[in-house]
C-alpha cells in the first residue's frame, strides 16, 4: 500500500515556517528507520502543522475560539448527494470527476446573459481568501478557509433587470459522471436560490477553492456557492447555471421535504428542525457541543435583510 501525505505536496517553502515543520529527533529517527507506521505518523503530523500554516485568509465573523477545521476533515466529511449520501462517499466517489472544461451560463432577467468558460467567468473579479463559519442543518459545523469571488461582482456584470427579484442556481446534471443522480434521493439537478438582495450581500461568495488551492471535487469543484449565515445546503456545488428571475426559485431540499427545509434556511437557534433542535451544534473535531449563534454569527451584517419578517414562518 502506498502511503500518501494527506495534504498537498506542493506547499511552497516560503509558506512554511521552520517551526511548523519541526519534528522531534525521535520522530525523524523513526521516519529515517523507514517503518511504515512511523512514516504515516510523521506525515500525519506534518499534515496537521501544514494545515495550520495554510489556513490563510481574512477571518469573517469568527469567535475567539474558532479555529480552522483541519484540511482532512473539510475534504473528507462532506455532503454531496450526487456522489452518495454518506459523509465519506463524496471524497471516494468524486475522485475521477473532471471539473474541466466547465461552462457557466448566466441568463434570465439580465441585460447581459451569456455562456462563459470558467476562466472567462472568473476574469475581472478579485479572488479573495476568507475564513467563514459553516453550519450544516444537521447540527454539525466547521470553520473553512474559502477562496472565491463575490457573487455580487458576477451579478453586477450581468446587469440584472429591474424586474429581477431572485437568483436560481443549478448543479451540473450528468448521471454518467455523477452516479448519485441515477437514484432518486433528491430532485435532480440540485437547485438552490437566494433573494436578489441576499445574493448581492458582500458576504455571499462563489468559491473556487479551499485552503488556498482549487476546490477538491468533493467540495463542489470547480465553483460552488457559500452563504455563511445560512445552513450548508444553500451552498450548492458544481454550479453550471445562474438564472435571474422574478419568482421564488424551486429548491431541491424544499421539494423533497417542504416542512423541513424552507427557502430561507437562515441559521437560527430558536427555530428547531421538526425532527431535532438547532440550539446547539457539534463542531467537527470537538467533543462538547457549542451553542449555535443567530445567523451563524453574522447577525450584525445580515439581520437587516430580514427586518419585519417572521423567521418562524420564513424558515
Ligand atoms: N449539488 C449539491 N450541493 C450541495 C449538496 C449536495 O448534496 N449537492 N449538499 C449541501 C450540504 S447539505 C452541505 S452541508 C454543503 C457541504 O459542503 P462541504 O462538503 O464543502 O462542507 O454542501 C451543500 N451543497
Ligand atoms: Mo448540510
pLDDT of residue 192: 98
Residue 291 phi/psi, 5° resolution?
A: -70, 140
Domain presence at residue 30: no
Domain presence at residue 152: yes
Share of the chain above pLDDT 90, in %: 82
Q: Which of 54, 228, 71, 68 is nearest to 134 (CA)?
A: 228
Q: CA–CA separation, 124 vs 149, rounded Å?
A: 10
pLDDT of residue 189: 98
pLDDT of residue 22: 34
Q: How many domains does the chain have?
A: 1
Ligand 1 centre to CA of 28 (Å) is 39
DSSP character string of 188-240: SSPEEEEEHHHHTSTT-EEEEEETTEEPPGGGTTT-EEE-TTB-GGGS--SEE
Share of the chain above pLDDT 70, in %: 83
Which residues, 6+ apart, have CB-to-CB distance to 101 below 8 Å? Answer: 117, 118
Average pLDDT over residues 187-209: 98
Among 25-34, 133-142, 223-232, the range scoring the smallest mean pLDDT is 25-34
Domain presence at residue 46: no
pLDDT of residue 33: 44
Please, are residues 252 and 191 in contact by the beta-carbon 8 Å criterion? yes
pLDDT of residue 3: 41
Find the Cα–Cα–Cα–Cα dihedral 99, 164, 203, 157, rounded to 10°: 60
pLDDT of residue 245: 98
Instruction: Check whether 210 has a pLDDT greater than 60.
Output: yes
Average pLDDT over residues 193-197: 98
First to last CA, the chain: 48
Average pLDDT over residues 254-283: 97
What CATH number is attached to the domain comprising 126?
Answer: 3.90.420.10
pLDDT of residue 56: 87
Instruction: Check whether 97 has a pLDDT greater than 80.
Output: yes
Residue 53 phi/psi, 5° resolution?
A: -65, -40
Higher-scoring residue by pLDDT: 5, 122: 122
Please, are residues 154 and 239 in contact by the beta-carbon 8 Å criterion? no
Q: CA–CA separation, 62 vs 285, rounded Å?
A: 17
Residue among 235, 239, 257 whose CB has most ligand 1 atoms within 8 A, to mutate: 235
Q: Which of 235, 228, 224, 206 is nearest to 302 (CA)?
A: 228
Ligand 2 centre to CA of 282 (Å) is 13
Full residue range of the structural domain in which residue 164 is found:
59-305
Does any ligand 1 atom lie closer than 6 A to the CB of residue 79? yes
Higher-scoring residue by pLDDT: 2, 138: 138
pLDDT of residue 46: 56
Residue 21 grid cell = 515543520
Ligand 2 centre to CA of 253 (Å) is 10
Does any ligand 1 atom lie closer than 6 A to the CB of residue 83? no
Instruction: Check whether 8 has a pLDDT greater than 60.
Output: no
Average pLDDT over residues 267-275: 98
Q: CA–CA separation, 223 vs 171, rounded Å?
A: 10
Domain presence at residue 28: no
Domain presence at residue 159: yes
Please, are residues 164 and 244 in contact by the beta-carbon 8 Å criterion? yes
Does any ligand 1 atom lie closer than 6 A to the CB of residue 133? no
Instruction: Check whether 93 has a pLDDT greater than 70.
Output: yes
pLDDT of residue 55: 84
Domain presence at residue 88: yes
β-pair type (103-108, 239-245): parallel
Domain presence at residue 188: yes
pLDDT of residue 1: 36
Shortest-distance atom of ligand 1 to CA 180: 7
Ligand 2 centre to CA of 136 (Å) is 4
Average pLDDT over residues 240-267: 97
The model's confidence at residue 96, banded by pLDDT at 50, 70 and 90, is very high
The C-alpha cell 424551486 sits at 250
Shortest-distance atom of ligand 1 to CA 219: 20
Per-residue pLDDT tens digits for 35-78: 455 555 556 655 555 554 478 899 999 999 999 999 999 999 99
Q: CA–CA separation, 171 vs 55, rounded Å?
A: 27
Domain presence at residue 123: yes
Amino acid at each position: 500500500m502506498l502511503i500518501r501525505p494527506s495534504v498537498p505536496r506542493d506547499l511552497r517553502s516560503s509558506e512554511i515556517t521552520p517551526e511548523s515543520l519541526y519534528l522531534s529527533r525521535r520522530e525523524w529517527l523513526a521516519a529515517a528507520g523507514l517503518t511504515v507506521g512511523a512514516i504515516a505518523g510523521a506525515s500525519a503530523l506534518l499534515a496537521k502543522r501544514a494545515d495550520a500554516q495554510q489556513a490563510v485568509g481574512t477571518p469573517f465573523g469568527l469567535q475567539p475560539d474558532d479555529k480552522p477545521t483541519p484540511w482532512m476533515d473539510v475534504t473528507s466529511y462532506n455532503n454531496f448527494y450526487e456522489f452518495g449520501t454518506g459523509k465519506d462517499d463524496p471524497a471516494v466517489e468524486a475522485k475521477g470527476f473532471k471539473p474541466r472544461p466547465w461552462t457557466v451560463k448566466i441568463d434570465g432577467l439580465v441585460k447581459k446573459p451569456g455562456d462563459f468558460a470558467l476562466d472567462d467567468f472568473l476574469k475581472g473579479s478579485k479572488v479573495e481568501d476568507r475564513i467563514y463559519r459553516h453550519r450544516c442543518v444537521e447540527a454539525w459545523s466547521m470553520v473553512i478557509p474559502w477562496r472565491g469571488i463575490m457573487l455580487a461582482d458576477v451579478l453586477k456584470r450581468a446587469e440584472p433587470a429591474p424586474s429581477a427579484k431572485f437568483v436560481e442556481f443549478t448543479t451540473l446534471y450528468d448521471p454518467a459522471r455523477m452516479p448519485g443522480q441515477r437514484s432518486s434521493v433528491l430532485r435532480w439537478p440540485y437547485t438552490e436560490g437566494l433573494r436578489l438582495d441576499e445574493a448581492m450581500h458582500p458576504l455571499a461568495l462563489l468559491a473556487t477553492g479551499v485552503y488556498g488551492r482549487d476546490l477538491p471535487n468533493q467540495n463542489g469543484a470547480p465553483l460552488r456557492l457559500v452563504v455563511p449565515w445560512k445552513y450548508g445546503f444553500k451552498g450548492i456545488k458544481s454550479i453550471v447555471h445562474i438564472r435571474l428571475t422574478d419568482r421564488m426559485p424551486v429548491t431541491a431540499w424544499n421539494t423533497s421535504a417542504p416542512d423541513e427545509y424552507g427557502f430561507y434556511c437562515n441559521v437560527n437557534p430558536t427555530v428547531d428542525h421538526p425532527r431535532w433542535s438547532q440550539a446547539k451544534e457539534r463542531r467537527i473535531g470537538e467533543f462538547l457541543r457549542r451553542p449555535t449563534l443567530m445567523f451563524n454569527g453574522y447577525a450584525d451584517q445580515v439581520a437587516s435583510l430580514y427586518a419585519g419578517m417572521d423567521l418562524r414562518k420564513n424558515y
